[in-house]
Every structure is written in structure tokens, then in C-alpha cells.
Structure 1
Amino acid sequence: MEKELSKHSHLSTEFEKSADDSTRDSIRDDHAVLEKTVWWKLDLCILPVVTMFYLLSWLDRTNLGNARVAGLQKDLHMTDTQYSMALTVTFIPYIASELPSNLLLKVVGPNLLLPTLLTLWGVVTTLQGIVKTYGGLLACRFFLGLLEGGVLPGLVLYLSFFYPRSRLQSRISVFFSSSSLAGAFSGLLATAIVGLNGKSGHPAWAWIFICEGLFTVGFGIVSYFILPRSPAHARFLSASEKDYVVSTLREDGAIGKDNKADSFSWAEVRKTFKLPQVWLLCCVYFLNGTIVYSLGYFIPSIVQGLGYSPTRTQLMTVGPYGAAFVLTNVASIIADRYHCRGFVTIFSCLCCEIGFAMFLGSHSKAVLYGSLFLTVGGINCSSPALAAWVANNVSPHVRRATALAFLSMVTNSGGVLSTWLLGSLSKAPRYTSATITLSVFSAVMGIAVAATLWYFWVQNKKKKAIRETTVKADEFEGLGDRSACFFNGNHVRYIES
């Protein structure tokens, strides 16, 4: 009898084990199906909207350079110093608004805050087309900066609500590279819009602002109806897909295990400024911002200095930005695939270094123009790598939001320097002193990135030693990126003990 019971017990255990295996296989199959579909759904529904946001942000901020070539500076009787001041005025409120906006993003809701900012700055961009005085232009540039300030860090933070860390950079790259498209389209649009010169009494440069501003307003209004607040509010996802996204993000360490972990706290804001990686990247972001904005604002003037007509100049700016778009996306796919964000950034620094050397050392128009493909392409492919690096290596939510906003502020502080570096402190057409400065900045940026890589390598060795003697449950709550189970650096993953 006991032998028979034992046999039945054994069969029952085998049945339960078989059932458990079957259940696990079923769950694994379901996850495999979701893995193939859910990220594509997000890519199709989220990325186009986010990309258009950043494209319009970059277009409306940098079209002043195209307007300058189209006659803005002459019509408003501006000196080179006054032009630099108009650019600088944009950056001051831009920098001041980034941190408050990012901290409010989750409280107000990105589906409300981001479209509101977009619509209002579209109105301001349009108003730039009817200014008659230098003072009026300064007022418009101030409010443009105030409204646009929260966009870049807000978009990076917003994408981190939807994508795990290993998938984040290629998505950031899509919207970041839209700045390259904006640079290319800006030249094409300006060339087309210049044909409206004199219509309704407005000069060509005014129509650049009016046409681009009105489109921004229209898209801002539409985006209220298509931008979801979070994965849980995404109407295009099924219930199982929503659960899968949230559970994947929690397992990855991209979001906290509950709302409490990601709730606002001034203590978390302060902890951000105690992170060594934030201060190491502070140097990198400042140098990156100086180079990005120097080229973004002044490439029309640089190309015109090579001897091209205003109309030809607008068209010639398309090439370097088109190349930057391709390079940025290819580099980001490689960075996500091989987990090498720091090395991609070092590569971008080398491209810039070679490009600036070509611009300094040659007198050939073809070589000078060709150097812009390396400098514009190089510096643009570093931006998404740096943004993903920060988003992936700072946790929880408030710490990440603070770091992204703070480093974006640092980037735009570099932008302030750029407005003077090529605006009035260096003479056209060769901009020799500015080019030397940017070349030095590229080299120092590469060194600072290497130092950050070394710091992450040291930290990960320490964390590995701790994991060998400590289980995750023994750690204090709220450690975030300081946890021994949070792996920093190029190869970003969340390790369960």
C-alpha cells in the first residue's frame, strides 16, 4: 500500500513538474511574441511624435542663422555683437527652465506639458516674423528660450518611461538625429521660402519665421490628442502589452518597483549632485554643447564665407546635415547592439578633430566644405550616446530627471559660449581662433569621456566584489544606481542577485 501511494505521489510530482514546465514554456512563448510586437508598436506610435517635437525645436531655435543670411541682420541694423546677444538671450531662460520643467514632467503629465510648450513656442516663432526692431527680436528670443528649455531633457526622460536601457539609445538617436534633418530642411525650406520675399509687405527672413512657426502651432495642437502619458495610458497597447512593458522596465531597473520608488523627493535631487559620473559628464556636456551650437547656429555663415551666394548657401548646408543624420543613426544602432556608448563618443571626437584640422590647414574650397561633413556628423552622433549614457546610469526617476536636466543646462551653457566664439570673437570667413578652440575642445572631450569609462570600470569591479558576498535583499532600499546590482557603464544591464 505504501509502495502504491509512493508511486502515485511520484507520478503526481512528475505531473506537476510537467505542468510547471508547460506553463513556463507558454509564458516564454507569450513573451517572445510580445518582444517582437510591442517595441515596434511603441516605435510607430511614440517615436514619430517625439522626433517631430525635437525637429521643430531645433528648427525654430536655429533658423535665426538662415534668417541672417536672408537679410535679418541688415534690415534690423544689427552689428555682429548684437547678433551674438540675440542668440545669448535665448539661452539664459532656456537654461533656467530646464530643471523645473523636468521635475514637473511626471507631475503635470508629459501628454499635457510637452504639447503646451510646443504650441506656445510656435506662437513666439511666428511673432518673430513681424518684429520691426532689435528690441522686439530680443523679446521674442527670450520667450522662445523659456518655452523650449524643457523639451530636450523632457523628451529623453519621456522615452525612458517606455523603453528599457538596452533599447534606449537607438530611440533617442531617432529624435536627436532629427536636428540633422532640421539643419538640412532648414536650408531647403529657407531656399523655398525666400521666394515669398515682399509678399504682404514681409521680407524673406520674416516669412521663414512665419511659415515655420505656424506649422509648429498646428502640430502642437494635434499632439494633445496623440501623445500618451505613460505605457499604462497608451491606447494602442493591449492590457497584456502594457503589463509586459511595465514589468520589463522594472526588471531592467529603468523604473522603480513601485510608485514610491519614483516619487518626488528633494533628497533625491540632492543625491544627484553627489554622483561622480554626473560631474565627469558635466565637462563632456559643456564641450559638446559648445561645438554643437557653434556649428548649428553658424554653419550658414561658414558656408557663405566660402564664397557662395545666399541662395546657394542655404542649399549647401543640406549636405553635412544629411551625412550627420545617417552617421548618427548608424552609430546609435552599433552602440545599442554592442553596448559601447563611450567608445562611440570618442569616435565622434576623433571625427571632429580631423574635420577642424582640415578646416584650419587647407585653402581649397572643396576641402573646407568637406570638413563640415566630419565636424557636423561627428558632433551630432555623440549627442544621443551621451543622453542614453546618463539615462541608463542614473536611477531612480527623480535622480535621472535631475541629472538629465542639469547636464542639459550645462550643454546650453556651452551654447552661450558658442554665440560669442563665432559671433564676434572670431573673424569670418575662416574663424581661425574659434576653429582652434573647438579643436582643443574636441580633444579634451575625448579625454573626459575616457575618464568616465575608467570610473565606471572601477565602480563595476567594486560592485562585483560586493555582489559575491551580499544578496540584493540585504541592501538598503532606495540605493538606485548606487546598488551593487545596478551595473554602470557601456554594457548596461540590471543584475538580480
Structure 2
Amino acid sequence: MVTGAHDQDISPNPPASPGEKSFTAYNTPSLPSLTGDVAGSEFTWSEAEERAAVRKIDFLVLPLLFFGFYVFQLERGNISNALTDGFLKSVGITQDQFNTGQSLLYLGIILLEIPSNYMLQLVGPRLWISFQVLAFGLVGVLQAFQKGYGGYLATRIMLGVTECGYIPGALFIISTFYKRSELATRNSIFFIGNGLATATSGLLAYGILPLGTRFPSHKGWQWLMIVEGCMSIFIAVLLLLLLPASPHCPKPLFLPIRVWTPNQEKILVARMAKDDEKNNRSSHRLTLKDITSTLSNWRVWPHVLIAICLISQTGALGTYGPTLIKGFNFDTLTANALSSVSGWIGLVTTASFGFFSDRTRIRGPVVVTGLALVWAFWLAFQQKSLSTDRWLKYGLQIMVQGFSIPSHPINATWLSLNCRSPQERSVAMALFIMAANSGALVGSQLLRGDDSPLYKRGFKVCLCLVSLGLLVAILQHIQYRLSNKRLEKRKEGQEESLESDETASKWRYTI
């Protein structure tokens, strides 16, 4: 029998046919998208039917958002590959000026993340994020023609403005289609889009940068930005044509196709309502009270601090990764190709951590384990920074980068599962992505020109940040456990409480 958080809504019945091993019954009087023949009556579905409906989400919604994140990261990160192809000299800027432009990119995202999330609620996530992918694709193409410090700063700011809000918007869409027990794996798959971009960006650069020699009208780094910008525009068109808005509105915006059968559409809504009664609405309008209450929730902020600490060192190595490898005495194309290995490691670790987290329903210890591994590799990398063994330094660097990836999506899932409403989750996710971009902003200033090429100071700061993130993750896990014990004691003392308090009395923090 399929069970959910609200067992009082489940009523067992015999299988409708010998082929149905079990099924779910759910009273759906308040589901607005259900048709008149079902509304107000008991709606039943089998496990096989639910799996079939979810499989279509996995093969439509998730891949679209995944590839949106993939091109998102390509646009943001291709400048690290451009650095190895004489980008600074071509544009006419210094390394510290380059760092300033990177800071402006992340500052634009930080300042506009909450307003973008409000627009997402107002316009709808489908239209908003499709528009964003189209916009940053156009900016990605046009940045190939930047010249001078002013032009460089302008393109970085515009890229930040157009990219803000995509990640929380996509995470919000995922949270409306998947149950709490399914989120960690799907969020991890979504974040693999980031890892895949890291894994393939060096390989793409290896293939595209030589176009500057073959077609000298543009330099290699310009061809790189033009090609990858066109890829983003193509994904934007797919999003506009195919992405459904929510379980309540599962039809694509423009194409007259029906992905789910009428019965599966009802299952999409009913299973989410059974998983959490707060999902039993077709519209979750965001208010100022939702924003202020989320910002005043102190339990959100440790997750924010973990994200800042983790992404700051990830951003530093992500930006200068190919350049560092080139400094280990590798040529330009080889350095770009070798830089992709960390992304493939990240793909494996992210999928593995997410799968394990969903199977065990453990979040905090998984985040702590991931951060502990990053800390250990950072310690070794920092200690061996003076080594003359280029393959040893390269191996430690890609292990740091590869194991920095999986903790971030699990931390996002951990935060999401501890939000009590879709509105709180929406604001918390926007705040979380703001934190990640704040970390990237910090990371853009860690490796500076006066500290090159060994970056002794920058590497020590990175190690300290990972240490702080690890400590905060441990304390956050402990406080959730203690909070659950207090809630359990309070429940024992309120067994005679009113029925209206029943949902609150069942709440437990995800540890």
C-alpha cells in the first residue's frame, strides 16, 4: 500500500485487477484541477500508474531544466577557458580588473534574485525562466564582441542580470512536481547540469578554440562564446515549446500536445496533495509576509553560510582551473581538456550522494561527509602547492573540484525539506542561490595577481572557508536533532490538543 504523510486520507481497497499490486486512494474535494466527475469523490490510482506519470516528468520536465542549467553554467564559465586563449590581452584588461568584472556578475545576481523570484511568481515559472535562458543566450553571443574594460564590465553585469533567478525558479518547478522523498535525487540530477557543463566545457573549448586559427575573422575565445550562446538560445526555444507550468497546468504553452493522459494529470495533482496538504492549491501567491517570515527564520541562515563557504572556493578554482593547470606546465589545449576531468568526477559523486541521500532519507550527514572530503583534499592540495610533480598537483586539484560539487545540491534539498510551505520554500531557495552567488563573488577575489602563480594566500583562505562550512554543517545537524526531540516532548504533552493543531504536531525537521 502506498502511504503518505496524511494517513487519515488513505482508505484501502482491493486491487482493481490481478495486475495491480497496490494502489492509493485519496479524497480530493479541494483539488481545483480535477474534473467534476472526480471532485468531491474518492480518487484511486495504482503504484504502476503513479510510476508511469512520474516517468514522464523524469523524461520531460527534468531534462529541460537540466539542459537549461547546463547552458547557464556554460555561459557563466566559458570565460575561464577564454583566459587560456589570451582573453585578457585581447580585451585589454588586467587580472584584477577581470576579478572585478566577475564580482559584478555575481553582485547583479545577488541584488536581483528576490525581485526575479517575485516575477517568477507573478508571470509564472515557465515563461520567466524561458525568457531568462533566451536573454542570457543573446548576451552570451554579444559578449564575443566586447572590447576594453568598460565593455567587459557591461557584459558581465548584463549576464548577471539575465541569469538571476533561473536556479531558484527551476528548483521551485521541481519541488511542485516531485514529492519530498523524491527531491534529493531530482535536485542532484538537476545540479549535474552544472557538473556536466564543467565536465564538457574544457572539451568544447578544445574543439572550438582552434576555430580562431581556421577562421581568423574572430579569435578562438570569440568563437567559443558565439557557439555556446547559440546553444542557450536553442534550449530557450525548447523550454518555450515543451515545458509544462505545474501539475495543475501540465500542458506545454505553445505546442498542442498532451504529455500526460487525463487520469495521469489527476495523479500528478493528487499525489502532491497527499504528500503535503500545502501543495493542495493551484496557486501559491507570494506575499511580503512570506518574505519577512522566511528571512526571520534563523534555521535558514546556517544553510546560507554553508553555501557561501562551499561555493567561494569552488568559484575560485572554477574560474582559474584551466589557467592553474596550464601553469603546471601543460599547453593551452591540453590544459582545457584536462580541466574537464573534475566535472566528470563531480557527475559521479553528485549522482551517488543524491541517490544515497534519497534511499536513506539522510541529508545532514551526507553534507557533512562531502565537506569533510573536500577539506581533506584541500589540505593536501595546499600542502603540495610547491611540489614540482605536475601530475600530483593536477590530481589533487581535480579531486578538490570534483568533490566540491555534491554537497551543494544536498544542502539545497536539506533546506527545501525543512520549509513548511511552498512560499517559504520559494523565498528560501532564492536566498540560498543568492548565498551561492555571494560565495562566487567572494571566490572571484581570492586568487589575485599579486598572489600568483602559487596563490599561497588564496589557497589558505579557501581551506579556512571549507573548515567553517564543515563546522556549521555539523552544528546544523545537531540543532535539527535537538529541535526534533523538543517537538516530540511537546507532542507528548499535547495529546489532548485540538485537531487544527494536528499538522503542526506532526512536523519534524529533516536531519
Structure 1-normalised TM-score? 0.89
Aligned counterpart in structure 2 of residue 51 of structure 1, from 66, 73, 81: 66
**Which amino acid in the other structure matches residue 413 of structure 1?**
S
Between the aligned partners of 1:332 and 1:192, the Cα distance in structure 2 is 32
Between the aligned partners of 2:274 and 2:108, the Cα distance in structure 1 is 38
Between the aligned partners of 2:104 and 2:23, the Cα distance in structure 1 is 59
Equivalent position of 2:510 in the other structure: 489
Aligned counterpart in structure 1 of residue 376 of structure 2, from 334, 340, 354: 354
Equivalent position of 1:393 in the other structure: 418
Pairwise CA distance, 1:475: 4.0
Q: Return the structure number with greater helix share.
A: 1
Equivalent position of 2:175 in the other structure: 160
Provide structure 1 residue ranges, at least 5 long, that are not aligned to the other structure.
1-18, 491-497
Provide structure 2 residue ranges, at least 5 long, that are not aligned to the other structure.
1-10, 17-21, 26-43, 251-257
C-alpha deviations, 1:152-191, integer Å up to 9, x for none?
1111111001001111111111121121111121101111
Which structure 2 residues correspond to residues 364-375 of structure 1 after superposition, within 5 A? 364-375=389-400
Equivalent position of 1:382 in the other structure: 407
Pairwise CA distance, 1:326: 0.7
Equivalent position of 2:462 in the other structure: 438
Aligned partners of 2:134 and 2:233 also within 8 Å? yes
C-alpha deviations, 1:302-339, integer Å up to 9, x for none?
21121111111111101111111111101110011111
1:307 aligns with 2:329: yes
**Which amino acid in the other structure matches residue 370 of structure 1?**
G
Equivalent position of 1:253 in the other structure: 276
Between the aligned partners of 1:257 and 1:275, the Cα distance in structure 2 is 24
Between the aligned partners of 1:21 and 1:114, the Cα distance in structure 2 is 42
Equivalent position of 1:82 in the other structure: 97
Pairwise CA distance, 1:77: 2.2
Between the aligned partners of 2:128 and 2:168, the Cα distance in structure 1 is 13
User: Max radius of gyration: which structure?
Assistant: 1
Aligned partners of 1:164 and 1:254 also within 8 Å? no
C-alpha deviations, 1:338-386, integer Å up to 9, x for none?
1122111111112211211221222122221111232112210111101
C-alpha deviations, 1:65-94, integer Å up to 9, x for none?
101111111112211111111211211111
Q: 1:389 to 1:325 in 2, by over 3 A?
A: same
* Identical positions, percent: 24
Aligned partners of 1:94 and 1:145 also within 8 Å? yes
Equivalent position of 2:476 in the other structure: 452
Between the aligned partners of 1:373 and 1:156, the Cα distance in structure 2 is 27
Aligned partners of 2:45 and 2:267 also within 8 Å? no
Aligned counterpart in structure 1 of residue 433 of structure 2, from 408, 421, 429: 408
C-alpha deviations, 1:168-224, integer Å up to 9, x for none?
111111121121111121101111111211526111111111110111112212220
Q: CA RMSD in A?
A: 2.1
Q: 1:172 to 1:351 in 2, by over 3 A?
A: same
Between the aligned partners of 1:289 and 1:174, the Cα distance in structure 2 is 18
Aligned partners of 2:117 and 2:430 also within 8 Å? yes
Secondary structure of the corresponding residue to residue 22 of structure 1: coil
Equivalent position of 2:255 in the other structure: none
Aligned counterpart in structure 1 of residue 351 of structure 2, from 329, 341, 352: 329
Q: 1:127 to 1:93 in 2, by over 3 A?
A: same
Structure 2-normalised TM-score? 0.87
Q: 1:307 to 1:489 in 2, by over 3 A?
A: same
Q: 1:21 to 1:222 in 2, by over 3 A?
A: closer
Secondary structure of the corresponding residue to residue 93 of structure 2: coil
Equivalent position of 1:182 in the other structure: 197
Aligned partners of 1:356 and 1:436 also within 8 Å? no
